[in-house]
Amino acid sequence: MFPRPASVAAAVSGPPASGRLADVSSQRRIRRGQTAVDAQLDLHGHTQDTAYRELIAFIDRERRAGSRCVLIITGKGRLGAGVLRARFLDWIASSSIRPLLAGYSRAHPRHGGEGAFYLLLKAAKS
Protein backbone atom coordinates (compact mmCIF):
# COMPACT_ATOMS: atom_id res chain seq x y z
CA MET A 1 0.00 0.00 0.00
CA PHE A 2 2.65 2.50 1.08
CA PRO A 3 5.86 2.71 -0.94
CA ARG A 4 9.08 1.97 0.88
CA PRO A 5 11.38 4.93 1.42
CA ALA A 6 14.23 4.90 -1.11
CA SER A 7 16.89 4.58 1.59
CA VAL A 8 15.33 1.39 2.95
CA ALA A 9 14.93 -0.16 -0.49
CA ALA A 10 18.54 0.62 -1.39
CA ALA A 11 19.94 -0.65 1.91
CA VAL A 12 18.05 -3.93 1.80
CA SER A 13 18.17 -4.80 -1.89
CA GLY A 14 21.82 -4.10 -2.71
CA PRO A 15 24.43 -5.18 -0.19
CA PRO A 16 27.77 -3.46 -0.54
CA ALA A 17 30.35 -5.44 -2.52
CA SER A 18 32.80 -5.37 0.38
CA GLY A 19 30.38 -7.33 2.57
CA ARG A 20 29.85 -10.32 0.30
CA LEU A 21 30.89 -13.74 1.51
CA ALA A 22 34.31 -14.72 0.25
CA ASP A 23 33.57 -18.44 -0.03
CA VAL A 24 30.87 -19.49 -2.54
CA SER A 25 30.15 -22.82 -0.82
CA SER A 26 29.67 -21.04 2.53
CA GLN A 27 27.30 -18.62 0.87
CA ARG A 28 25.23 -21.48 -0.56
CA ARG A 29 25.07 -23.30 2.79
CA ILE A 30 23.98 -20.13 4.55
CA ARG A 31 21.29 -19.30 2.00
CA ARG A 32 19.89 -22.81 2.29
CA GLY A 33 19.85 -22.60 6.09
CA GLN A 34 22.40 -25.43 6.41
CA THR A 35 24.90 -23.54 8.56
CA ALA A 36 24.69 -23.97 12.32
CA VAL A 37 23.95 -20.75 14.19
CA ASP A 38 26.15 -20.43 17.27
CA ALA A 39 24.28 -17.51 18.87
CA GLN A 40 21.59 -14.97 18.12
CA LEU A 41 20.82 -11.37 18.99
CA ASP A 42 17.30 -9.98 18.79
CA LEU A 43 17.27 -6.20 18.32
CA HIS A 44 13.48 -5.79 18.63
CA GLY A 45 12.62 -2.96 21.01
CA HIS A 46 15.99 -1.22 20.72
CA THR A 47 16.58 2.30 19.52
CA GLN A 48 19.18 2.81 16.78
CA ASP A 49 21.81 3.84 19.33
CA THR A 50 21.24 0.97 21.75
CA ALA A 51 20.95 -1.54 18.89
CA TYR A 52 24.30 -0.47 17.45
CA ARG A 53 26.04 -0.63 20.84
CA GLU A 54 24.48 -4.03 21.55
CA LEU A 55 25.53 -5.32 18.11
CA ILE A 56 29.16 -4.31 18.64
CA ALA A 57 29.28 -5.86 22.12
CA PHE A 58 27.58 -9.06 20.90
CA ILE A 59 29.95 -9.52 17.95
CA ASP A 60 32.99 -8.92 20.15
CA ARG A 61 31.73 -11.32 22.85
CA GLU A 62 30.80 -14.09 20.41
CA ARG A 63 34.02 -13.77 18.45
CA ARG A 64 36.07 -14.15 21.64
CA ALA A 65 33.91 -17.19 22.55
CA GLY A 66 34.79 -18.82 19.23
CA SER A 67 31.44 -18.47 17.47
CA ARG A 68 31.64 -18.54 13.68
CA CYS A 69 28.04 -17.89 12.54
CA VAL A 70 25.63 -15.67 14.45
CA LEU A 71 22.07 -14.61 13.70
CA ILE A 72 21.05 -10.98 14.08
CA ILE A 73 17.30 -10.35 14.15
CA THR A 74 16.48 -6.79 13.13
CA GLY A 75 12.79 -7.30 12.41
CA LYS A 76 10.98 -6.21 9.29
CA GLY A 77 9.42 -3.09 10.73
CA ARG A 78 6.02 -1.74 9.84
CA LEU A 79 5.14 -2.40 6.23
CA GLY A 80 8.63 -3.81 5.62
CA ALA A 81 10.38 -0.49 6.25
CA GLY A 82 12.21 -1.26 9.50
CA VAL A 83 14.67 1.36 10.68
CA LEU A 84 17.05 -1.14 12.28
CA ARG A 85 16.95 -3.35 9.20
CA ALA A 86 17.76 -0.38 6.98
CA ARG A 87 20.67 0.72 9.17
CA PHE A 88 22.09 -2.78 9.67
CA LEU A 89 24.13 -2.86 6.44
CA ASP A 90 25.64 0.53 7.28
CA TRP A 91 26.56 -0.72 10.74
CA ILE A 92 28.33 -3.85 9.53
CA ALA A 93 30.24 -1.76 6.97
CA SER A 94 31.52 0.54 9.73
CA SER A 95 35.19 0.53 10.67
CA SER A 96 34.43 -0.92 14.11
CA ILE A 97 32.61 -4.02 12.80
CA ARG A 98 33.83 -4.72 9.24
CA PRO A 99 37.29 -6.04 10.28
CA LEU A 100 35.64 -8.64 12.53
CA LEU A 101 33.47 -10.17 9.78
CA ALA A 102 34.21 -12.75 7.12
CA GLY A 103 30.84 -12.04 5.50
CA TYR A 104 27.09 -11.88 5.88
CA SER A 105 23.87 -13.07 4.28
CA ARG A 106 20.13 -12.64 4.67
CA ALA A 107 18.68 -15.30 6.93
CA HIS A 108 16.84 -18.38 5.76
CA PRO A 109 13.03 -18.05 6.23
CA ARG A 110 13.09 -20.39 9.24
CA HIS A 111 15.50 -18.00 10.98
CA GLY A 112 13.62 -14.81 10.17
CA GLY A 113 14.11 -14.32 6.43
CA GLU A 114 13.91 -10.67 5.43
CA GLY A 115 14.04 -9.50 9.05
CA ALA A 116 17.29 -11.24 10.00
CA PHE A 117 20.89 -11.68 8.87
CA TYR A 118 23.65 -14.21 9.38
CA LEU A 119 27.09 -12.86 10.17
CA LEU A 120 30.18 -14.98 9.65
CA LEU A 121 32.79 -13.96 12.18
CA LYS A 122 36.52 -14.08 11.64
CA ALA A 123 38.44 -16.17 14.14
CA ALA A 124 39.75 -14.17 17.08
CA LYS A 125 43.52 -13.77 17.15
CA SER A 126 45.18 -15.34 20.17
For residue 64, tell me if it sits in a domain.
yes
Degrees, nearest 5: CA angle 6-99-93: 5
For residue 70, tell me if it sits in a domain.
yes
Q: Please provide the average confidence, as pLDDT, over all residues in the chain.
A: 77
For residue 23, tell me if it sits in a domain.
no
* CATH number of the domain to which 50 belongs: 3.30.1370.110
Question: pLDDT by residue (tens digit) across 60-103?
Answer: 999 999 999 999 999 887 766 788 888 998 999 999 899 999 88
For residue 31, tell me if it sits in a domain.
no
For residue 106, tell me if it sits in a domain.
yes
For residue 54, tell me if it sits in a domain.
yes
For residue 29, tell me if it sits in a domain.
no
DSSP per-residue letters across 35-90: SPP-EEEE-TT--HHHHHHHHHHHHHHHHHTT--EEEEE----GGG--HHHHHHHH
Q: Provide, rounded to the nearest whole percent, the portion of the chain with pLDDT above 90.
A: 36
| Residue 83 or residue 5, greater confidence | 83
User: What is the span of the domain harbouring residue 76?
Assistant: 6-12+36-121
Q: How many domains does the chain have?
A: 1
What mean pLDDT is predicted for residues 27-33? 69
User: Could you tell me if 43 and 59 are in contact, meaning their C-beta atoms sit under 8 angstroms apart?
Assistant: no
For residue 65, tell me if it sits in a domain.
yes
